[in-house]
Structure 1
């Protein structure tokens, strides 16, 4: 079946004159106006003349099997569902383990990723977790990257956090180099996704890595860099010094005006001179937001969602912090480049995956297509009785 989407406007991310998107075999076959195909060919026409088509969003940090556990087994977070992903205009996610790699494993993440794929979401994963040495699927980082198609990197390795394994410089260098070679063998980017905690060392472990080794800056992505003012300032300096990309978390417990919101973090990074194409945003969805007292004791937690990712991005556009075509990069094109998926995702163009979010005039997603298939945001995965 060939599908023809007729929309009001297209941002590819740059605005196009085209208003038609022709989809075949899960990819975009053509864009234009008044597109037609030979009579008799099977085609479904979908009319969305009041909506704007943009590349479906990419969330590179999702606890697909649920995070948590810092307060015991009763504090484990729930899994995410495909419908909750698509409702935010997100077409691609990368699954990640966090603190708990004891009751959960990379195998659990892989099973969930494959389940999401079966429901229509483009899902990938990082092997590993907070701790070093990281848990793997095959017993070896290079084999995970080489033999498991869904594995696109390592993460989230925790640094500058009381929950981390306190990895030393030589351990971090060894992990990143292992991932780099494994990714080369597999034809992948093979990034290392680093969780930044509240620790005073901040980004120093990654600065040391890039200064003392031959590892390129695009191999490492620090996330949660907007936890505190000093860390955000350090992230700006880190990006400018090494030409590195930094990932801002749309913390679900930060309203739009909160000093650590993704909106304020992106605005501050731009003001410090960080190029927009070196900034990405992610949600930390279904991860835990634990609270610890002054002595490091667990004091409670909330579960992260993905609504702030959308609302903070919308505000960046509405308040003209960035024009639409640049703002889209924060949650689509730049993320695709970081993950090594830029040849098929993050853009609306012939040959690219037909991953499309249709937005209304308020920038609210109304429909999400992944590989040309519409994901129904009202549908929920079947649960056993």
Structure 2
């Protein structure tokens, strides 16, 4: 073999690791990557003499599917306290250093100074830096801002657009959409996604308002829309909402998304506590996902809804909560991986290419040490992050 370093663009990459969870544990200890995809998994894989190959020796590390974060304010969130409270953009390094290979960019409260076009530019910039990035068209607002003037056209003609979001409900910052407006939006997304061959999910921001998940319960009860079409997020912002989310997931066999809050406050629950409670309520692990909401704003309001302060979310809590679920044996590693990998790929309609380590799948691989800390991250076979002491 002709070893190459990261400055080259090899035809092949061979990862030699200690263990592989794909997410189920495998006997294999090697991953052969060709043209950005996994070509084979096995032991003592042979490469013809003279073929250009990058050899990565990481026998003390465990290979897992690279993580997927379905809710990232890649252009920064915020603005609820004026222009001086706009949050910063996220960098490719901040994403990859947490073992995350794929992100979905989202606009939030601010759909004025930030736009879908701005979001698309950032998504394409991240792709140029090696991160697999997608986006939701729209923002909190109803009717939503779009790239082409129409939600269905965005889905049909913009490859990076995989759904609509984050539409705000049960929140004083939302557009207070009527039930018929919600139903019309979700229906448009469904048809547009069908024409584009996409899942086309509607990603709903759920605030702490008294209506909770009622608009989504009505949507699934009163229309023919399938539950897989809508994903409520931030369902752990307070305990009553989480209990409602458990009932919702069980009643409709629906998925719910937990936010890994750095500081959930007195009313909220951490990602660890929220997943633990959902599992205790009998929600199947396959119907639970976790996301970071990173670089979004964490505004504080008083009882009258007046802005009083702001913090910026990070993605470190996502990995920390996930690690704790494994370390405290709430879930075995192979099931916990679904929360930030396979389950998310299923929700987004990317499960034919991501969320597993298998021949033909995208070569998105994260290498973990014994403490479950990401040491190296590969996206489409390219190493986009390695800690200083990694080989």
Could you tell me the TM-score, scaled by structure 2's length? Answer: 0.95
Q: Helix, strand or coil for the counterpart of 2:372?
A: coil
Contact 1:84-1:377 within 8 A present in 2 as well: no
What residue is the counterpart of 1:280 in the other structure?
289
The CA deviation string for residues 236-283 of structure 1, in whole angstroms up to 9 with x for no partner, is 00000000000000012249x996100000000000000000000000
Matched, 1:363 2:372: yes
Equivalent of 1:22, from 10, 16, 32? 32
CA distance in 2 between partners of 1:342 and 1:376 (Å): 23
**Of residues 46, 58, 68 in structure 2, which corresponds to 1:58?**
68
Map 1:345-384; keep pairs closer than 5 Å. Answer: 345-376=354-385
Aligned-residue CA RMSD (Å): 1.3
Alignment partner, residue 123 of structure 2: 113
Q: Does 1:124 align with 2:134?
A: yes
Alignment of structure 1 residues 139-178 onto 2, 5 Å? 139-178=149-188
Matches within 5 A, 1:1-385: 1-254=11-264, 260-376=269-385
How has the CA–CA distance of structure 1 residues 378 and 118 changed in structure 2, closer, same or farther, with 3 Å as cutoff? farther
State the Cα deviation string for residues 302-356 of structure 1 (Å, max 9, x = none).
0000000000000000011011110000000000000000000000000000000
In the TM superposition, what whole-angstrom CA distance separates every residue of 1:99-150 from its partner, at most 9, and x where no partner exists? 0001000000000000000000000000000010000000000000000000
Structure 1 residue matching 2:272: 3-state secondary structure: helix
- Corresponding residue for 1:382? none
Task: Tell me if structure 1 keeps the 8 A contact 2:15–2:30.
Answer: yes
Structure 2 unpaired stretches of 5+: 1-10
Cα distance in 2 between the residues matched to 1:233 and 1:329: 22
Structure 1 CA distance, aligned partners of 2:387 and 2:144? Answer: 37
Query: Deviation of residue 37 (structure 1)?
Result: 1.6
Distance (Å, rounded) in 2 between the aligned partners of 1:303 and 1:252: 10
Q: Which structure 1 segments of 5+ residues have no match?
A: 380-385
- Counterpart CA distance in 2 for 1:180 and 1:258 is 34
SS of the counterpart of 1:326? helix
C-alpha distance in 1, partners of 2:182/2:64? 37
Task: Tell me the CA shift for residue 38 of structure 1.
Answer: 1.5
Deviation of 1:39 after TM superposition, in Å, equals 1.5
Find the aligned partners of 1:151 and 1:46 in 2 and give their Cα distance: 34
